[in-house]
Amino acid sequence: MITVGVEEEYLLVDPVTGVPAPVVEAVRRVAGLGPFAEGVEIQDELLQAQIEVATPVCWSLDEVGGHLLRLRHAVAAAAETSGCRVAATGAAPLRGGLPVPVTPTPRYLRMEGEARQLVDEQLICGMHVHVGVPDPETGVAVLNRIRGWLPTLLAMSANSPLWDGRDTGFASWRTILFGRWPVSGPPPHFDGVCDYEERIERLVASGMIADRGQVYWQARLSDRYPTVEVRCLDVQLRADDAVMFAGIVRGLVATAIAEEKAGTPLPVVAPELAQAANWHAARHGLNGILLDPLGCPHRSGDVLYDLLRHITPALEEAGDLRGVSGLAHRLLRLGTPAERQRRALDEAGLPGLIDLVTGARAFE
């Protein structure tokens, strides 16, 4: 069994206006003192209206789900005590009049000095899935084999359609905002682990990025853990959808390892096509077409089913097939979280939207 872990970022918002609330230190302190979370599991982020949780290393999706529910409950209860609410949305629907202060660490303050407008607009929240790999060489082979599926994962996870009180027309506005950093978007193809390391070292040595942490590719090797880290996902409205993505990403990694061992030919998509597929997935979500890993357009539902077929042996081996496929079918039936945000805003206005992204279904 391959290990898996999840990191989730949330916004802290005013319970009435939905405007970001810069009270992360108070929320972290209360959550860390409570019975449901340890301090190391809850971290601050770039801006003081963001908070991040991280599960321990897990062996099963049941473990992932249990930890996510526990941590979501911990931060929601702490936020309530601190006069705000926690929002599971990929981008702040409203921003208010003044920029949110930066968390005052040397690294974050340096980023603010170098890219003030980008930092001010970094009110976005993602979900990162870490999957264990035996060694960096295998990890790089996995990156090469899963990169064609990243637009499909992005389209499925889209949960950030609103910005400054308006519909952006994008299902994942978070992806567009994040794509403005120098090293971001779909990862390139690598000629082995030495090529991977040399490229990152050249980027840092060039001064274009300050450190390896600013390599914001949508999938990369973790510098902290022996894992592949998939970062293309918007944070999810519901914990069980986050569990689904943990299962799918682990299935993709397990399938890639098996294919690498078997010598299965590797399809390589041109970087410009990968970038276009990524933009299109952020724009449309599951409405319309997606590009498959070969760069061919198909109906989004068909590509999703192809993804499930591709990883079915890995899901079966892990005991995840029934749970993951059931949640994927629910996603197709209900629509992406972006579609649910739009419906809530249309049907009940801003109060309905705030209730959706901060509600009990997500955080209790």
Query: CA–CA separation, 181 vs 150, rounded Å?
Result: 18
Say which residue the tokens 């599991």 belong to: 41
Of 24, 17, 27, 160, residue with least CA distance to 95? 17
Query: CA–CA separation, 73 vs 150, rounded Å?
Result: 29
Query: CA–CA separation, 256 vs 103, rounded Å?
Result: 38
How many angstroms separate the Cα of 103 from the Cα of each of 22, 81, 118, 156, 284? 9, 21, 15, 31, 33
Give Dmax over CA atoms of the chain in angstroms.
Answer: 56
Q: What is the mean pLDDT of residues 175-204?
A: 97
Query: CA–CA separation, 85 vs 230, rounded Å?
Result: 27
- Annotate 254-293 with three-state secondary structure: HHHHHHHHHCCCCCCCCHHHHHHHHHHHHHHCCCCEEECC
Query: CA–CA separation, 327 vs 80, rounded Å?
Result: 30
The answer to whether 252 and 149 have CB atoms below 8 angstroms apart is: yes
pLDDT value at 215 more than 90? yes
Query: CA–CA separation, 221 vs 193, rounded Å?
Result: 10
How many angstroms separate the Cα of 323 from the Cα of each of 2, 241, 254? 17, 10, 17
Taking residue 126's Cβ as centre, other Cβ atoms within 10 Å add up to 22
Q: Identify the band that residue 275 occupies on the pLDDT scale cut at 50, 70 and 90.
A: very high
The answer to whether 336 and 171 have CB atoms below 8 angstroms apart is: yes
List domains and CATH numbers for the chain: 4-363 (3.30.590.20)
pLDDT value at 39 more than 80? no
N residues, the chain: 364
Q: What is the mean pLDDT of residues 28-46?
A: 84
Q: Identify the band that residue 364 occupies on the pLDDT scale cut at 50, 70 and 90.
A: low
Q: Identify the band that residue 281 occupies on the pLDDT scale cut at 50, 70 and 90.
A: very high
Q: Identify the band that residue 328 occupies on the pLDDT scale cut at 50, 70 and 90.
A: very high
Q: Which residues pair with 34 in a beta bridge?
A: none
Query: CA–CA separation, 169 vs 257, rounded Å?
Result: 37
Q: What is the mean pLDDT of residues 93-104?
A: 93
Mean pLDDT of the chain: 95
- Percent of the chain clearing pLDDT 70 (strictly above): 100
Q: What is the pLDDT of residues 216-247, one digit of tens each?
A: 999 999 999 999 999 999 999 999 999 999 99
Q: What is the mean pLDDT of residues 51-66?
A: 97
pLDDT value at 360 more than 80? no
Q: Identify the band that residue 40 occupies on the pLDDT scale cut at 50, 70 and 90.
A: confident
DSSP per-residue letters across 98-120? SPPPBP--HHHHHHHHH-HHHHH
Q: Identify the band that residue 35 occupies on the pLDDT scale cut at 50, 70 and 90.
A: confident
Give the CA dihedral 185, 320, 356, 41, nearest 10 degrees: -70
Q: Identify the band that residue 315 occupies on the pLDDT scale cut at 50, 70 and 90.
A: very high
Determine the pLDDT at residue 268: 85
Q: What is the pLDDT of residues 109-164, one digit of tens each?
A: 999 999 999 999 999 999 999 999 999 999 999 999 999 999 999 999 999 999 99
How many angstroms separate the Cα of 330 from the Cα of each of 247, 343, 346? 15, 17, 22
